[in-house]
Amino acid sequence: MSLTFTLIQTKLFWENKVANLKTLEEKINSIQQKTEVVILPEMFSTGFSMRPEEFAETMDGATIAWMKKIAAQHKIILTGSLIIEEDKKYFNRLIWMLPNGTCGYYDKRHCFAFAGEHEHYSAGNKRLIAQVKGWKINLQICYDLRFPVWARQNIHAENKEPEYDALLNVANWPERRNHAWKTLLTARAIENQCYVIGVNRVGNDGNEIYHSGDSMVVDPLGEILYHKQHDEDVFTITLEKEKLNDVRNKLPFLKDADEFKILNDE
C-alpha cells in the first residue's frame, strides 16, 4: 500500500500571514502530480515568532479556515504548525487537516528554550499518531527531533505491531545546526524502522538567522530518498508500505527493544 506526500520547502515572510498564505496557496496550486498529504513547515504563517500575543489565532481563526479550504479544494490532507491560543495559553500547534474539514492536532512537546520559546508557549504532553490508508504517522515539530524517547516506537502488546510507520517533523531549523538535523532525521528512521520526513524552511528569518532547508525523506534503512538544500522546492514522493514491512520482517530488531511507558505530566 502506497502513500504520496508533497513537501513544501519555502521561504517565509516574517510575521506576515497574508503574504505567507498567498504564496503557499500558489505553491499548492502548482502541484501537478496526484498527492495525498501536503506538508508545510513549522509556523508556516508567521515564521518562528516569539510574539504569540500578537499573532496567535483560535481554532476558529482565519488560518484554520484557509487550511480547510485548501484541503477541501485539492482533496488532500494538509499539515503544518501555527500559533494557536487556547485556554489563555499559546501553543506551537501542528494541524492535521482532512479534506472533510475535520482535524487532529499536536502541540509541540519540547519548547526551544535556547530561543526563549518556553517563555511564550506552553508545552504539549500528548503524542498524535494520525492514520490514513492503513498508515500510522507520528507527528512532531522541530526541536522534538532531539529527544529520541518522545519518538521511540512502542510495540502494541496485543498485535505485536510497531506503533507507527512514518515520523513527520516540520521545522524552522537553522543552517548553523543543519548537521544535527540531517543526522537526527536519519537516526530516527534507523532506530524506529520507519520512514522519516523532515520539512524545513529556507532563507533568513526576522532575526537574520539563515535556514538552509535540508528537507529530507529517509527510508527505514537510513537511505536518503530526497534531500534539498538552500532552494525553495515542491517535491512529491510516493512511499511504499511493502518496503517498510519487508525491512521489518527481514531485520526484526524492534522485537528486541526495551519496553517503556511515557508518562504525561498532567
> Is 228 among the residues known to form the active site?
no
Residue 241 known to be catalytic: no
Catalytic residue among 27, 68, 108, 182: 108
Q: Which helix (H) or strand (E) holds 213?
A: strand 210-218
**Residue 129 — φ and ψ, nearest 5°?**
-115, 105
Q: Pick the catalytic residue: 142, 182, 194, 228? A: 142
Q: Are 179 and 187 in contact (CB under 8 A)?
A: no
Active site residue 266: no
Which pLDDT score, from 0 to 100, does residue 266 have? 52
Specify the pLDDT at position 260.
Answer: 76
Environment class of 55 (CB within 10 Å of its CB; exposed 0-12, middle 13-18, buried 19+):
buried
Cell numbers at 204, concatenated: 533568513
Instruction: Specify the CATH architecture of the domain 2-256.
Output: 4-Layer Sandwich (3.60)
pLDDT score for 261 = 77
pLDDT in the model for residue 264: 65
Alpha-carbon distance of 54 to 160, in angstroms, equals: 47
157 CB-contact burial (10 Å; exposed 0-12 / middle 13-18 / buried 19+)? exposed
- Whether the model clears a pTM of 0.85, i.e. scores above it, the answer is yes
Cβ-Cβ contacts under 8 Å for 109 (sequence gap 6 or more): 123, 124, 125, 127, 140, 144, 147, 150
Domain boundaries of the chain, sorted by first residue: 2-256
Catalytic pick among 42, 57, 117, 175: 42
Q: Each residue's pLDDT tens digit in the chain (266 positions)?
A: 999 999 999 999 999 999 999 999 999 999 999 999 999 999 999 999 999 999 999 999 999 999 999 999 999 999 999 999 999 999 999 999 999 999 999 999 999 999 999 999 999 999 999 999 999 999 999 999 999 999 999 887 777 789 999 999 999 999 999 999 999 999 999 999 999 999 999 999 999 999 999 999 999 999 999 999 999 999 999 999 999 999 999 999 998 888 777 776 55
